[in-house]
Amino acid sequence: MAVTSPATTKHYLLNASVIVAALGYFVDIYDLVLFSIVRIPSLQDLGITDQAQLLENGVLLLNMQMAGMLLGGVAWGILGDKRGRLSVLFGSIFLYSIANILNGFVTDIPTYAILRFIAGVGLAGELGAGITLVSEVLPKEKRGYGTMVVATIGISGAILAGIIGEYFGWRTAYFIGGGLGLLLLFLRVGVYESGMFKNLKETHVTRGNFLSLFTNSKRFWKYLKCILIGVPIWYMVGILITFSPEFGVALGVEGTVSAAKAISFSYLGLVFGDFASGYLSQRFKNRRTIVLIFLLLLSISIGLYLFSSNLSLNSFYILCVALGFASGYWAVFVTIAAEQFGTNIRATVTTTVPNFVRGAVVPLTFAFTSLKDGVGLVPGALLLAVISMVIAVFSILTLDETYGKDLNYMEPL
């Protein structure tokens, strides 16, 4: 499987590596957001009907999934630099596919929690491995377009998840997600390992040393900033959208907000946002400025969401689209992380960074539930938004611009 791509194939934007990475991310996102979509119906089917218990158990299961992604991100990232990008790409797809099929058979909360954790571990590997592979097999002038394709196609998986979760039942939705992942594994033929990684294997340079990110202060702060610029995206997904039914009640929305529809509409916005941010970062040859623009748009969208009142359902869902679009700098954010570090630690960084961002949902939800009880649902969410946005803006302003950077170098460890 670790075969070097012929040089001639590296100049095609839609080569096998880009297509499989994009489809893998499509299934990854489908499974990633599926619990948020089926949270209420699945818990009700398991005998939980009290509103407070629905929220409490929902937070528990979401945190188990995100904790799995935190640990899985580290493990897959190290493997990506030691064993290769393809090993992680296909190994992670296999693990989360099996876990999600088993989710369709759960009958109690403890089993549900364990399987969400295992699914989280599997979901942690695909994006980082895919983005690393695409970044290394495409010319530096095109890799931004490659990661844009991966993110745009991949994020649309949430739309399918919303449709399946809303109309086909939660158990069927899990079965379909797992089945899609296993089906994707048959498409691995024709996908080549990164030539940069093959050259790296022939040297004696240390690879995948996760702890090295913490032993050098400059490297550590650069790594931490890469994580912090993405936190507002998962604040939007993990708080505002996941708990949109509760916000709908608090904001006086006319009608019952469907979490499945809120997620589908927000990810519809994300599809267009990721395409726009990826294209603009290539068009203007600048990633930092584009991220700053999208952070400004996200701040405005969050304000409109939290300060709205007595909206119709359609107006609320339009706000979800706006939140999604403004959060659509995910592709650029992950590309920035990949471009900041050398080949011998790139997969470790590119896999752990988005998973630490996703894992930030754990402290965010704990803080949110505490603030909700203390100052209220909306004020608590607003306070978290301000903190995450200020930190993200500072982080992107103090990172180096990486557009067009030559990635064929080693990180001194």
Confidence label for 203 from pLDDT (cuts 50, 70 and 90): confident
Q: How far apart are CA 359 and CA 71, in angstroms?
A: 9
Residue 408 falls inside a structural domain: no
Task: Please enumerate in sequence order all residues whose Cβ is within 8 A of that of 8, keeping only pairs 6 or more positions apart, or say none.
Answer: none
Please write the tens of the pLDDT for every residue from 74-90. Answer: 999 898 888 888 888 88
The answer to whether the predicted template modeling score (pTM) of the entire model surpasses 0.85 is no
The pLDDT score that the predictor gives to residue 198 is: 72
Closest of 337, 355, 357 to residue 405, by C-alpha: 337
Task: Supply the range of the domain harboring residue 321.
Answer: 8-397
Confidence label for 188 from pLDDT (cuts 50, 70 and 90): low
> What CATH number corresponds to the domain at position 17?
1.20.1250.20
149 pLDDT higher than 80: yes
The pLDDT score that the predictor gives to residue 32 is: 82
Please write the tens of the pLDDT for every residue from 31-43. Answer: 888 887 888 889 9
Please tell me what DSSP assigns to residue 221: H
Distance of CA 374 to the CA centre of its chain: 30
Please write the tens of the pLDDT for every residue from 377-389. Answer: 899 999 999 999 9
Confidence label for 371 from pLDDT (cuts 50, 70 and 90): confident
189 pLDDT higher than 60: no
366 pLDDT higher than 90: no
Please write the tens of the pLDDT for every residue from 95-108. Answer: 999 999 999 999 99
Residue 84 falls inside a structural domain: yes
Residue 403 falls inside a structural domain: no
**Averaged pLDDT, 298-327:** 94
8 pLDDT higher than 50: no
**Average pLDDT across the chain, whole number:** 86
Residue 412 falls inside a structural domain: no
The pLDDT score that the predictor gives to residue 103 is: 92
131 pLDDT higher than 50: yes
Residue 218 falls inside a structural domain: yes
**Averaged pLDDT, 157-167:** 85
4 pLDDT higher than 70: no
- Domains in the chain, number: 1
* Higher per-residue confidence, 296 vs 188: 296
Residue 228 falls inside a structural domain: yes
* Higher per-residue confidence, 192 vs 359: 359
The dihedrals phi and psi of 193, each to the nearest 5 degrees, come to: -70, 155
Whole-number percent of the chain with pLDDT over 90: 32
The pLDDT score that the predictor gives to residue 194 is: 67
The pLDDT score that the predictor gives to residue 190 is: 59
Q: How far apart are CA 379 and CA 130, in angstroms?
A: 38
The pLDDT score that the predictor gives to residue 13 is: 66
Closest of 401, 331, 344 to residue 130, by C-alpha: 331
What is the residue whose two structure tokens read 């931490």? 224
Question: Which stretch of 214-223, 310-319, 358-367 has the lowest confidence by average pLDDT?
Answer: 358-367
Q: Which burial class, exposed, middle or buried, applies to 272 when counting CB atoms under 10 A from its CB (0-12, 13-18, 19+)?
A: middle
**Averaged pLDDT, 289-307:** 96
Residue 293 falls inside a structural domain: yes
CB-CB contact of 289 with 394 (8 Å): no
Residue 18 falls inside a structural domain: yes
Please write the tens of the pLDDT for every residue from 315-349. Answer: 999 999 999 999 999 889 988 998 998 888 888 89
Confidence label for 60 from pLDDT (cuts 50, 70 and 90): confident
Closest of 148, 125, 151, 115 to residue 34, by C-alpha: 115
Per DSSP, the three-state class of 138 is coil
